Amino acid sequence: MRYSQILLLTKMENMKCKMKKVLKECRWLLLALFTICIYSCKDESNTGEGVFDPSKPVVISDFTPKDGGAYQKLLISGENFGTDVSNVKVTIGGREAVVINVKNNYIYCFVPSGAFSGEIEVTVGEGENTVTTVASTAFEYQKKMVVGTLCGYRNNRDDQGWRDGPFDGPDNVRCCGFSNTGRLAFDPLNKDHLYICYDGHKAIQLIDLEKRMLSTPLNINTVPTNRIRSIDFNKAGKYATEAQYMIVSIDYDGQGNTSPSVYIIKRNSDGTFDDRSDIQLLAAYKQCNGATIHPINGELYFNSYEYGQVFRLNLDDYFETIESGQNWNANVTQNSAFKQLFTIADPSWEFQIFIHPTGKYAYFGVINNHYFMRSDYNEVTKEFVTPYTVAGGYKVSGYKDDVGTSARMNNPCQGVFVRNKEYAGQEDEYDFYFVDRLNFCVRKMTPDGIVSTYAGRGTTTAIADNNQWGTDDGDLREVARFRDVCGIVYDEDKNIFYIHDEVGHTIRTISMEEEETTESNE
């Protein structure tokens, strides 16, 4: 099938999905309008019914729909509600709902976040004239993925600085920082250890999810720059065990074509990485934007901003040299173990490499020119081949959910592949989630190249200040807002995304809603 046909089919499928959503919304609105019209006619025929009477009971006769999640529109029908919105309070599952409109026989509101028990309670009146009633049946609350804040903060003066410490506590105790463009990486041997490096802060920090602590174990003073661009870990092989080494790339050109580009750091005997760890220069060229390990075969792929070059190194060549007692020549131009595969485009292309979990292809996220390329993996030569554009506009920034090259993005940064259960048995079972930095959101790209907005740019919260960016947690699209998001990883076991919000100076999460407990964290 031709690519143009695929684009047409995916566009049609996308339109069908949108139409289904619109039709579903229209059915609800028609039901609401129909109900409103009926009760409005009743009110017109008997104006006395429009006044709340505290001597009479408030009655809930029905509500629709019967189930849904946070920010679901809810229509409650009954009697003696009055017509004053300020005089009516609705709680669902113990959480106060936003009441939009009230007539004597109905209440129009939104289901609040965290309304887990679903008990609907309506209170009308004030002081001694308050009347409360509870619906005979509960609303079936459906949990959904929501945005939260894990750690970090930004005060009103934005002078909180950098501080290691606990996630929780007052501003002068809890951790803060996260103020430069960052990239995240899980320790493959301990998913409670999340590392973050920065382009502009000379340290690698550890976010300990179990202890809820931020620390800075790697200050790596031997590195000649504060532009640390990526973190990855080796695969198990003939000479090394799984994740025995951390692979760190830096962006530096102070020594011409022999500038340090990629370092290899050996894990300590106690399983940690810190300033005691052995660090060696693995590759030297210039201006490296990122280094990535092939998830199946373990090769190292890294790049240069200079001409958009992509280099390959079989790590076994490095380990064999070290094991034999020889010195490793890290100079890319002088060591035949390094191979330049191709250039992706013109000079000065800032990009990073994200390899599919199967190793069959990789996406190259071209940050400063706002698009993604795809490179397929040659199983015979064990090399990635020259890439082609799959999503976004070549040198064209913008914001648009669409298919392939019709989609628009602005500074796409880190991305992660996430298995989609609905794709089980298909050739590609993964969606690709990425942070669209200057569009302040998390986007999703399907294997067919359909780009959509997954979280951020809150539909309702943006109304207040007319900004798509902010710090709001909550419903993925209705409420949540980010600001200059640049890092993202995903924990498949826990179904949690971790996101670096650069301007918010926080680590945000996307996870399933959880009921609050009364247990103390102390």
For 328-374, write each residue's pLDDT tens digit.
Answer: 999 999 999 999 999 998 789 899 999 999 999 999 999 999 999 99
- Region of residue 188 (phi > 0: left; psi between -120 and 50: alpha; otherwise: beta): alpha
Mean pLDDT across 137-146: 96
DSSP letters, 466-484, are S-S-----EETTTT---SS
- Check residue 516 and give its pLDDT: 65
Q: Is the pLDDT of residue 5 over 70?
A: no
Q: Label each residue of 247-299 as H, E or C.
A: EEEECCCCCHHHEEEEEEEECCCCCCCCCCCCEEEEEEECCCCCEEECCCCCC
Please say whether the beta carbons of 74 and 19 come within 8 A. no
For 16-51, write each residue's pLDDT tens digit.
Answer: 444 444 444 444 444 444 444 444 444 443 334 589
Report how far Cα 193 is from the mean position of its chain's Cα atoms. 18
CA–CA separation, 446 and 161 (whole Å)? 39
Q: How many residues does the chain have?
A: 522
Binned at pLDDT 50, 70 and 90, residue 71 comes out as confident
- Check residue 518 and give its pLDDT: 44
For 439-489, write each residue's pLDDT tens digit.
Answer: 999 999 999 999 999 999 999 899 989 999 999 999 999 999 999 999 999
Please say whether the beta carbons of 476 and 465 come within 8 A. no
Residue whose C-alpha is closest to residue 122's, from 175, 57, 190, 188: 57
Mean pLDDT of the chain: 91
Mean pLDDT across 497-518: 90
Q: What angle do CA 277, 280, 285 make, to 5 degrees?
A: 145
Q: Which domains does the chain have, with CATH numbers?
A: 59-141 (2.60.40.10), 145-512 (2.120.10.30)
CA–CA separation, 503 and 507 (whole Å)? 11
213 burial via Cβ count (<10 Å: 0-12, 13-18, 19+): middle
